[in-house]
Amino acid sequence: MKMTGAQALIESLRGEGVEVIFGYPGGSLLPIYDVLYDTKDIRHILVRHEQGAAHAADGYARASGKVGVCMATSGPGATNLVTGIATAHMDSVPMVAITGQVPTFAIGKDAFQEADITGITMPITKHNYLLTDAKDIPRVLKEAFHIARSGRPGPVLIDFPRDVQQAELDFEYPETVDLPAYRPVLNGHPKMIQRAAAVLDAAERPLIYGGGGVNSSNAQAELLALAERADIPVTMTLMGKGGFPEDHELCLGMPGMHGTAYANYALHEADVIIAVGTRFDDRVTGKLDMFAQNAKFIHVDIDPAEIGKNVAPLVPIVGDVKRVIGELSKKAARTKHPEWLKTVANWKQQYPMGWKGDGLKPQLIIQEIHRATDGKAIIVTEVGQNQMWAAQWYPCRETRQFISSGGLGTMGYGFPAAIGAKVARPDRQVWDIAGDGSIQMNIQEMATAVHGKIAVKIAVLNNGYLGMVRQWQTLFFDNRLSHTDLAVGTPDFVKLVEAYGGVGLRVTEESQVRDAIDKAAAVDDRPCLIDFHISRDENVMPMVPAGGTVDDMLVD
Amino acid sequence: MKHTISVLVNNRPGVLARTASLFARRGFNIDSLAVSTTQDPDVSRMTIVVDGPDAVLEQISKQLYKLMDVIKVLDHQDEAVVNRELALIKVDADASVRGEIMQTVSIFRANIVDVADRTFIIEVTGSADKVDALAALLQKYGIKEMMRTGRIVLSRGPRTAQRNG
C-alpha cells in the first residue's frame, strides 16, 4: 500500500500494538503530528518537557512490561530526551524513542534545530538508527521493537528526517526480523545448570541475591519455587524489589548501602550466592574485593558481558532468568538449612529496621501509605532519601510494583514515570514518593497529568534539603552543608498544584497523615500532591559508606 | 599483554564510530586499528591491537558482541598468524650516506619509493618488530617524517574468520 513515511511510522506502531505515545511536537515532526491528528486508536499524551516524555515511556514500560514509546522533535527536543534514555539504558528498560531530524539534505550543515542525536545517544542506547530512505521504515521499526524488548532490554532510538516523513513508500510490515548478528541466548547451558544444582546442594549457607532481571523476565514464580524448595533466604536489590514477595519469611529485604543489616550480614557469611539477573553494582557490593568473601558465586544473567565483569563466578550461566531458574528449581535438591536460617533470624531480631526520635517521620508516612493502600499501590520514586525510605518501608509482594531509577539515579524521574505507570495500570493507585528537590526537577508535568486526567498521587517528603547529599555532608564532611539547603525558594507546593488545577494537601503533624492519604486516594480525575513537612535532619539508616564493607555499617 | 583481535562488522555507516566509542567509554586502550572491506561487500573487517590482561580482553569481546553490527570477534592470541604493518619513512639522504642507506634498505627487503636531492622515502612492510628495527637504524641519518598503518592479520592455514565459522 502506498503511503508517506509519517503514515508508515504510525502504521508500524500499530503493527507493534503500541497503545500510547508520550510526546511533544516540533518543526521536524510536523508531518508525523499531522497523521496523529486523525489517529484515534493510539493515545498521544502531551508532556510539557521532552524529558518527561522519556521518563513517562520508561515508567509505562516498567509497569506494563511492554515497550514504552516517546517522541520529540529534532535538536533541543531530542537532546532533552537524553537523560531519560540514559536512565532506561542503565536499568535495561525496553523503550523506542523517535526523534524528528532536519531534512537529509540539511544534515551536517548546522541547520536550525539540528543535533547529531544518533551520535549523542550511541553510548546510551542498545542501538540506534538514522532513517535516510522511506522504504527502510517498516524494517527499522520492526527491528527497533525487537531489539528493545528481547535479550537484555534497552532503549532504541530512531532519528527520522523530515523529508523521509514526507517521502512515499510501498508499505508492508514485515513478520520477522533478519538480524544474523543478534541472537540472545535464552536457555541456560544444561551442564552449567547441573553444576549449579550440585554446588547448591552442597551449600550450607546459601543465599539468593536477585536483581532487576527477575522483574524484567517475570521470573517471580520460578524464584519463589527455587527459594522454597531449597530453603534459601533471598535478598533483592532496589531493581529487583517485588521480584520476591517481601512478606515471605525467607525475604531479607534489600542489600547494600542502605540495605538491611541482616541482608548485608547474610551476604558476608553465605558460602554460596546465586546472583540472579543482577550486576554486582557498587551500591550493593561496597568495596568489591571485600564483598561476600566467603562465598562461591553462581551468576545467572542474559547479558554475557555482565558475567565476570565485576565478580568471577564459579558457575556462569548465560540465559533468561525465568528459564534458567525454572530449570534450576527442578534440578536442585529439596533441602532444609535450619541452622543457617536460625542465624539469619537472629540477625533480623538483633538488627531490626527502625527509626528514633520525634517529629513527623518519613518512614512512618511510607508505612502509612502501605497500610492505606493494602500494599497494592504501584510505588514510583524520585532519587535520594525519598527513594531509600520508599524501598525500605513499602514492602512489595508483586513484580513491577516498585519503579525507581537505580543505575543512573535520576532526580526528576519519579513524577513523569508515575504518569507513565498510571497510564499503563489505570486500575492501580500509583504513588510517586518524592523529595522537595526531585519534584521540582520535572514539576511541569503537573500540567500533563491535569490535561490527561491522570490521577497520580505525589507524596513530597519535604525537608527543605537536598536530603541525601546533606546526609553525606553531615556524616563525612563535618556537617558543612554546602549548597544543599533548599528551604528558601521552595514553593508552596499546595498552591502550586492548585495553580495547575490539581489537588494539594499539607501535613505537618503525625495525626494528619492517614486522613490526607485517604483524601488523596479518593481523587480519581487529577493529580494529588501531599506536602509532608518531615523532620528536617532525618538520615537514611543503616548505611554502609561508599567503598566500605559490612564492618563499616552505620546503624544510627 | 598485547592482543590482536579481528572484528567482522556489517559494512554500514557509523560502525567504526560505534566500535571506537565503545573502546573509549569502557576505558580500553587501542594501540592500533586498521579497517577495510573484505571479500564480502557487506562485511568490513577491523584488526585491533589492544593492551590488557586476559580478563579485560574477554570483557572487550563480550562488549563488542553487544553491538548490533558486530558479527564476529576473534582473538589471535593462541594461534599462528601472518601479521603485517606498512610504514613510509622520509629520511635525510645526502650523497655521503646514500649507499649505506640503500644497503640497509635492501637487507630489510624494503623499497625506496621516492628519491629527491636530499631525501628518500622508504616503504617497509612486515611485523611491528621489523618496522621498529629499520626505523631505529635509520634514526641516525635523520627521520624527517614517518607514518605507519595499523596491523592487519590473517590466521595461518585454512582457518578463517567467517560469519558462522
- The answer to the question of residue B20 being in a domain is yes
Chains A–B, number of C-beta pairs less than 8 Å apart: 37
pLDDT value at position A175?
Answer: 95
Q: Average pLDDT for residues A305-331, to the nearest whole number? A: 97
What CATH number corresponds to the domain at position B35? Answer: 3.30.70.260
Percent residues over pLDDT 90 in chain A: 98
Long-range contacts of the stretch A33-40 (C-beta < 8 A, 24+): A34/A6, A35/A4, A35/A6, A35/A7, A35/A9, A35/A10, A36/A10, A39/A10
Same domain, B6 and B70: yes
Q: From CA B148, how far away is CA A385, in angstroms rounded?
A: 55
Residue-range definition of the domain harbouring residue B46: 2-75
Q: Average pLDDT for residues A97-107, to the nearest whole number? A: 98
- The answer to the question of residue A262 being in a domain is yes
Same domain, B71 and B93: no
Tell me the pLDDT band of B25, cut-offs 50, 70 and 90: confident
State the average pLDDT for chain B.
93
- The answer to the question of residue B164 being in a domain is no
Same domain, B6 and B57: yes
Residues of B in contact with A309 (CB under 8 A): 59
Same domain, A495 and A367: yes
Same domain, A281 and A155: no
Same domain, B148 and B109: yes
Same domain, A41 and A149: yes
Tell me the pLDDT band of B163, cut-offs 50, 70 and 90: low
Same domain, B57 and B87: no
Q: Average pLDDT for residues A245-249, to the nearest whole number? A: 97
Nearest by CB to residue B59, choosing from A118, A119, A309, is A309
Please give the residue of chain A at the shortest CA–CA distance from B54: A308
Same domain, A242 and A164: no
B109 DSSP 8-state letter: T
Question: What single letter denotes the amino acid at residue A84?
Answer: G
Interface contact A127-B58, CB threshold 8 A: no
Chain B: closest CA distance from residue A182 (Å): 6
Residues of A in contact with B68 (CB under 8 A): 126-127, 147, 179, 181-182
User: What distances in angstroms separate CA B125 from CA B30, B38, B83, B104, B132, one per listed residue?
Assistant: 21, 20, 10, 14, 11
- The answer to the question of residue A548 being in a domain is no
Chain B: closest CA distance from residue A184 (Å): 10
Same domain, B29 and B58: yes
In this model, does residue B91 exceed pLDDT 70?
A: yes
Same domain, B86 and B134: yes
pLDDT value at position B154?
Answer: 95
Tell me the pLDDT band of A180, cut-offs 50, 70 and 90: confident
Residue-range definition of the domain harbouring residue A59: 2-170
Same domain, A82 and A162: yes
Same domain, B100 and B60: no
All three cell numbers of A399: 513484580
| Per-residue exposure over A16-50, b if at least 16 CB sit within 10 Å of its own CB, e if not | bebbbbbbbbbebbebbbebbeebeeeebbebbbb
- The answer to the question of residue B65 being in a domain is yes
Same domain, A203 and A329: yes
- The answer to the question of residue A544 being in a domain is no
Same domain, A166 and A199: no
pLDDT value at position A329?
Answer: 96
Q: Average pLDDT for residues B30-59, to the nearest whole number? A: 93
Same domain, A82 and A228: no
Nearest by CB to residue B62, choosing from A147, A304, A312, is A304
- The answer to the question of residue B163 being in a domain is no
Backbone angles phi, psi at A331, to 5 degrees: -85, -30
Give the residue from B50, B75, B100 where a domain finishes: B75
Nearest by CB to residue B68, choosing from A118, A127, A305, is A127
Q: Does A308 touch chain B (CB under 8 A)?
A: yes
Q: Average pLDDT for residues A22-38, to the nearest whole number? A: 98
pLDDT value at position B54?
Answer: 85
Shortest CA distance to A388 belongs to which of A319, A320, A461, A339? A461
pLDDT value at position A116?
Answer: 98
Q: From CA A555, how far away is CA A544, in angstroms rounded?
A: 9
Interface contact A122-B18, CB threshold 8 A: yes
What interhelical angle do A513-522 and A362-372 show, nearest 10?
40
What CATH number corresponds to the domain at position B136? Answer: 3.30.70.1150
- The answer to the question of residue B157 being in a domain is no
Same domain, B13 and B31: yes
Q: Average pLDDT for residues A151-168, to the nearest whole number? A: 98
pLDDT value at position A430?
Answer: 98
Same domain, A345 and A366: no
Residues of A in contact with B73 (CB under 8 A): none
pLDDT value at position B27?
Answer: 86
Same domain, B69 and B101: no
Q: What is the pLDDT of residues A474-499, one digit of tens each?
A: 999 999 999 999 999 999 999 999 99
Same domain, A411 and A496: yes
Residues of A in contact with B57 (CB under 8 A): none
How many structural domains comprise chain A? 3
- Cβ contact A134:A8 at 8 Å: yes
Residues of A in contact with B163 (CB under 8 A): 180
Q: Does B165 touch chain A (CB under 8 A)?
A: no
Q: From CA A411, how far away is CA A531, in angstroms rounded?
A: 18
Give the residue from B75, B90, B110 where a domain finishes: B75
- The answer to the question of residue A282 being in a domain is yes
CA–chain centroid gap for B148, Å, is: 8
Same domain, B16 and B71: yes
- The answer to the question of residue A163 being in a domain is yes
What CATH number corresponds to the domain at position A100? Answer: 3.40.50.970
- The answer to the question of residue B158 being in a domain is no
Q: What is the DSSP string of A214-263?
A: HHHTT-HHHHHHHHHHHT--EEE-TTTTTSS-TTSTTB----STTS-HHH
Interface contact B66-A179, CB threshold 8 A: no
- The answer to the question of residue A540 being in a domain is no
Q: What is the pLDDT of residues A254-264, one digit of tens each?
A: 999 999 999 99
pLDDT value at position B165?
Answer: 42
Q: What is the pLDDT of residues B27-41, one digit of tens each?
A: 888 999 999 999 999
In this model, does residue A229 exceed pLDDT 70?
A: yes
Give the number of other Cβ atoms within 10 Å of residue A112's Cβ.
11
Give the residue from B24, B55, B75 where a domain finishes: B75
How many structural domains comprise chain B? 2
Q: What is the pLDDT of residues A343-385, one digit of tens each?
A: 999 999 999 999 998 999 999 999 999 999 999 999 999 999 9
Tell me the pLDDT band of B164, cut-offs 50, 70 and 90: low
Interface contact A123-B10, CB threshold 8 A: no
In this model, does residue A209 exceed pLDDT 50?
A: yes
Same domain, B70 and B87: no
pLDDT value at position B67?
Answer: 96
What CATH number corresponds to the domain at position A318? Answer: 3.40.50.1220
Tell me the pLDDT band of A9, cut-offs 50, 70 and 90: very high
- The answer to the question of residue A451 being in a domain is yes
Chain B: closest CA distance from residue A31 (Å): 26
- The answer to the question of residue A357 being in a domain is no
Q: Does A116 touch chain B (CB under 8 A)?
A: no
Question: What single letter denotes the amino acid at residue A225?
Answer: A
Percent residues over pLDDT 70 in chain A: 100
Shortest CA distance to A319 belongs to which of A338, A333, A306, A335? A306
- The answer to the question of residue B165 being in a domain is no
